[in-house]
Amino acid sequence: MAATLEELSRYLEEQGLSCQIEGDGDIEIRAANTLEDARAGEISFLANRRYTKYLGETQASAVVIDRHQEPPDGLTVLRCKEPYAAIALLIVKLHGYRRHPQVGIDPRAVLHPSARIGADANIQHNVTITEDVVIGDRATIYPGCYIGPGCRIGDDLVLMPNVVIYDGCVLGDRVTIHAGTVLANDGLGYAPVGEGWHKIPQAGIVEIGDDVEIGSNCSIDRATLGKTVISAGTKMSNLIAIGHGTKVGENCMLVAQSGVAGSVTLGKHVTLAGQVGVVGHITIGDGATVGAKAGVTGDVRQGDTVLGQPAIPIRQKRREIAILGKLPGMWNQLKNLPKRVRALESQLADRKRRASESDQPAQTPDPKDKR
């Protein structure tokens, strides 16, 4: 859809984002695009300073910027406190969002007679919903999904193709799970018996809070006893593994290929960057950030940022990196050190010898010597 910049500004205000137009509010905006690719009739945004250079080159009709950015002369801007949040809303406003097909309940879906499905469901072919499952209103479930016995699921569920939810899981409202993800498979629970392993039954469940989104091909283990919990508002990328009995707090962000072992506690608003590994039975405090490829082997304090393998506080890691950068020069100095030491030892020996010679008493002439 198309709208004037003034109309888009009012829309953002209605969504709770205060903004201010500088320039022509009557410009018609038809689409959103990047700074590099935008053309007339499109709106772009600047949320990362590294792209500032494109601000003076963009062909966009308007750009969303923060309150401190200085735009080039003649560029119409929409100032917002949070440009990234603003453009996200504008993309939905201008382009819409993924529109799920309205198919009702396909006759080729397999629904157990005891399953209870809410109003306005869209359940496609080859979906299996087993006994004693309860699903709220407006569920969207794509082909190949399986929901095991006794699951309890809230409103506005979205399951993309081939999601598997084992028995007993509890999901809140507005949960989205992308293709190929598995909830509540058995955790890695084995007791050593001689040289072999004895399986420990995994009798717990997985509980997912409201407004959680889980990427594709993730695996969230069921607890041995009790619950594995992903709390409300948490977002997970693709290829993430969560071990049995782990508790992930509210509004966390887990980036692709992260792995969290069992019985870990993540506080609220924790960020795990790509390929982070977390050992079991530790706590990561509220607001902590773990940098990419870090290996977390101990507790992380609230608000700390850690990096490295093993993960250490960022200030300490920066000192290590600074020292590592100096190692080539230090190595050259170290290679030359034996030669310099030998030269100094030789000089010292010469000085000692000369000092010893100068300290000998002068020889007195013999009076009998008539020569």
Q: Which domains does the chain have, with CATH numbers?
A: 3-95 (3.40.1390.10), 110-315 (2.160.10.10)
**The residue type at 138:** R
**The residue type at 201:** P
Residue 10, token pair as written in the block = 């009012």
What does the alpha-carbon distance between residue 242 and residue 294 come to, in Å, rounded to a whole number? 16
Residue 367, pLDDT score: 61
Could you tell me which residues come within 8 angstroms of residue 116 by beta carbon, excluding any fewer than 6 positions away? 133, 134, 135
User: 277 near 292, Cβ under 8 Å?
Assistant: no
> What would the mean pLDDT of 252-277 be, rounded to a whole number?
98
E-assigned strand segments in 130-171: 134-135, 140-141, 146-147, 152-153, 158-159, 164-165, 170-171
Residues annotated as catalytic are: 244
- Alpha carbons within 13 A on the beta-carbon side of 328: 1
β-strands 259-260, 140-141 pairing: unpaired
How far is Cα of residue 250 from the mean position of the Cα atoms in its chain?
14
DSSP 221: E
Residue 172, token pair as written in the block = 């809140």
With bands split at pLDDT 50, 70 and 90, how would you rate the model's confidence at 251? very high
Q: Which of 194-208, 263-277, 325-339 has the lowest mean pLDDT?
A: 325-339
What does the alpha-carbon distance between residue 13 and residue 264 come to, in Å, rounded to a whole number? 40
Bond from prior residue into 310 cis (ω within 30 degrees of 0): yes
The H or E element containing residue 349 is helix 314-358
Residue 97, pLDDT score: 79
What does the alpha-carbon distance between residue 271 and residue 254 come to, in Å, rounded to a whole number? 6
The H or E element containing residue 45 is strand 42-45
Residue 306, token pair as written in the block = 């850690």
Name the residue with tokens 């717990």.
204
What does the alpha-carbon distance between residue 77 and residue 74 come to, in Å, rounded to a whole number? 9
pLDDT of 20 above 80 = yes
**The residue type at 222:** R
Helix (H, G, I), strand (E, B) or coil at 111: strand
> What would the mean pLDDT of 137-143 be, rounded to a whole number?
98
Q: Which of 8-22, 109-123, 356-370 has the lowest mean pLDDT?
A: 356-370
With bands split at pLDDT 50, 70 and 90, how would you rate the model's confidence at 370? low
With bands split at pLDDT 50, 70 and 90, how would you rate the model's confidence at 368? low
The dihedrals phi and psi of 148, each to the nearest 5 degrees, come to -75, 170
